């Protein structure tokens, strides 16, 4: 408890009050709070050495370039990438998936090919493939989920075949919390010659992720869910695959030579980083990675497992409340739920009156909610700065909402 209290002091927003209530922030699955060191690191860039990177020989540009590239190196080490050249800065998980779809997908997919996704995907790992399918004519298939919120892997041998060129799946569901067996799924995909893309938006911030141990081909994740700023994310890829891919965007910095007749491309990772990148944000993400390393990702994961088990126990006792997904031993640090007779938006509004921030809606996962026959859910998502006492407050607030709104 003492360690969590010390961590909480690192996050300025957590000192806020909402009305007369202390803020209880249970929406880190949407975006995490930022420690002061990240805010100060970005402020220092803007105050002392604000300049473009890779573009000038003057002192400020060199300092900015060094800070930007050092952040890339620290991020590579964070996920155990073989080289920082395999770390591409994007705007977030969504852009990272779109990069793979438009660069790798356009070069490798066509009629007769298949892409496999799952029924629990975030829209960012559904819509890009639907758009590309409609243009290129490949087949998009999906692994169904069980009512318990697990992937129905009995169907996998029929779905994952020699026709499958890519298996793209979420590591941890942003609604169910389900931790998918990534290594097992990657091995199955590679056995039929398919590449693998993992959506790590809800795993990389919360548990150790080692891309070499997983042997994953692509990993996408976002800064703003892991104590970093918004507007920047990461695509990791195996080097030989990235080198074989054409650029995603054209413009400055992604080229080697340009004439009026033709252009040639820059080396990795710059081939995929057209234009002025999110410099301050990348530097801020580097500071966030340093912060998480200092805390320790094994500790973060263990803390969340303890909290989600407690949350599962407490919320299961609220009358009329149903938790979506598997039990606490199989999930990451979030709990999505519905309450009989209460709309999820009304539920979120009531608990907000008690200073408690939860998310309500379909969480960019409409197919998943359709599986359960519901339009949306409320979601409490936990992180390294949350406590049991905050879960107690959530339970009390939900019981109040049940008394006020249920009928």
Report the C-alpha gap between 346 and 54 in whole angstroms: 50
CB–CB of 103/272 below 8 Å?
Answer: yes
Does 34 reside within a domain? no
Could you please report the per-residue DSSP string of 141-175? EEE-B-TTSSB-GGGHHHHS-TTEEEEEEESB-TT
Q: How confident is the model at residue 74 (pLDDT cuts 50, 70, 90)?
A: very high
Q: How confident is the model at residue 254 (pLDDT cuts 50, 70, 90)?
A: confident
Give the global pTM: 0.96
331: Cβ contacts below 8 Å, ≥ 6 apart: 172, 176, 177, 178, 179, 308, 325
Q: What is the mean pLDDT of residues 266-290?
A: 94
CB–CB of 138/106 below 8 Å?
Answer: no
263 backbone dihedrals φ, ψ, rounded to 5°: -135, 150
Domain termination residue (choose one: 267, 294, 321): 294
Q: Mean pLDDT lowest for which of 52-66, 244-258, 265-279?
A: 244-258
CB–CB of 304/349 below 8 Å?
Answer: no
**Residues 327, 252 share a domain:** no
Reading phi first (left if > 0) and then psi (alpha if -120 to 50, else beta), residue 374 is in: beta
**Residues 77, 144 share a domain:** yes
Does 248 reside within a domain? yes
**Residues 8, 147 share a domain:** no
Does 43 reside within a domain? no
How far CA 21 is from CA of 16, 270, 402, in Å, comes to 9, 47, 20
pLDDT for res 407: 59
Domain termination residue (choose one: 243, 261, 294): 294
Q: How confident is the model at residue 267 (pLDDT cuts 50, 70, 90)?
A: confident
Each residue's pLDDT tens digit, 208-236: 999 999 999 999 999 999 999 999 999 99
Catalytic-role residue among 18, 131, 364, 406 = 364
**Residues 250, 335 share a domain:** no
Range of the domain at 162: 49-294
Token digits of residue 110: 């066509």
CB–CB of 187/167 below 8 Å?
Answer: no
**Residues 167, 61 share a domain:** yes
Alpha carbon 137 to chain centroid, angstroms = 28
Each residue's pLDDT tens digit, 155-192: 899 999 999 999 999 999 999 999 999 999 999 999 99
CB–CB of 322/338 below 8 Å?
Answer: yes
pLDDT exceeds 90 at position 253: no
Does 42 reside within a domain? no
Domain termination residue (choose one: 249, 271, 294): 294
**Residues 100, 176 share a domain:** yes
Each residue's pLDDT tens digit, 118-141: 999 999 999 999 999 999 999 999
Report the C-alpha gap between 66 and 187 in whole angstroms: 38
The CATH code of the domain that includes 152 is: 3.40.640.10
Query: Does residue 227 carry a catalytic annotation?
Result: no
Report the C-alpha gap between 84 and 75 in whole angstroms: 8
**Residues 165, 131 share a domain:** yes
Q: What number of other Cβ atoms are within 10 A of residue 294's Cβ?
A: 9
The CATH code of the domain that includes 326 is: 3.90.1150.10
How many structural domains is the chain composed of?
2
Q: Where are the alpha helices (DSSP H) in 245-296?
A: 279-295
Kindly report the average pLDDT of the chain as a whole number: 96
Give 112's DSSP letter. T
């Amino acid at each position: 408890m003492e360690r969590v209290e010390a961590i909480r002091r690192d996050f300025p927003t957590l000192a806020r009050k909402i009305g007369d209530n202390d803020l209880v922030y249970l929406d880190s699955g949407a975006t995490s709070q930022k420690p002061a060191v990240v805010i100060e690191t970005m402020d220092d860039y803007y105050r002392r050495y604000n300049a473009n990177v890779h573009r000038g020989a003057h002192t400020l540009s060199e300092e900015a370039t060094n800070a930007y590239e050092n952040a890339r190196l620290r991020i590579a080490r964070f996920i155990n990438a073989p080289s920082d050249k395999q770390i591409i800065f994007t705007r977030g998980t969504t852009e990272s998936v779109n990069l793979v779809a438009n660069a790798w997908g356009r070069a490798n997919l066509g009629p007769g090919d298949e892409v496999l996704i799952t029924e629990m995907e975030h829209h960012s790992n559904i819509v890009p493939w639907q758009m590309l399918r409609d243009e290129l004519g490949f087949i998009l298939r999906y692994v169904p989920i069980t009512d318990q919120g697990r992937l129905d892997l009995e169907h996998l041998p029929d779905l994952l075949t020699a026709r499958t060129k890519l298996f793209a799946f979420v590591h941890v569901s942003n609604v169910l919390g389900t931790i998918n067996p990534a290594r097992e799924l990657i091995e199955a995909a590679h056995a039929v010659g398919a590449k693998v893309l993992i959506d790590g938006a809800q795993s990389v911030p919360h548990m150790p992720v080692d891309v070499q141990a997983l042997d994953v081909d692509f990993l996408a994740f976002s800064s703003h869910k892991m104590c970093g700023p918004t507007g920047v994310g990461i695509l990791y890829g195996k080097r030989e695959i990235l080198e074989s891919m054409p650029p995603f965007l054209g413009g400055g910095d992604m080229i080697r030579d340009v004439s009026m007749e033709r252009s040639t491309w820059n080396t990795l990772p710059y081939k995929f980083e057209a234009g002025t990148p999110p410099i301050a944000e990348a530097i801020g993400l580097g500071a966030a990675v340093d912060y998480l390393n200092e805390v320790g990702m094994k500790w973060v994961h263990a803390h969340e497992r303890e909290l989600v088990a407690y949350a599962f126990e407490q919320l299961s006792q609220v009358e009329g409340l149903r938790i979506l997904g598997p039990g606490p031993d199989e999930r990451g640090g979030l709990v999505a739920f519905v309450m009989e007779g209460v709309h999820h938006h009304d539920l979120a509004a009531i608990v907000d009156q008690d200073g408690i921030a939860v998310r309500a809606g379909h969480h960019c996962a409409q197919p998943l909610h359709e599986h359960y026959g519901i339009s949306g859910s409320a979601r409490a998502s936990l992180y390294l700065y949350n406590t049991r006492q905050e879960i107690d407050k959530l339970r009390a607030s939900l019981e109040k909402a049940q008394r006020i709104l249920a009928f």
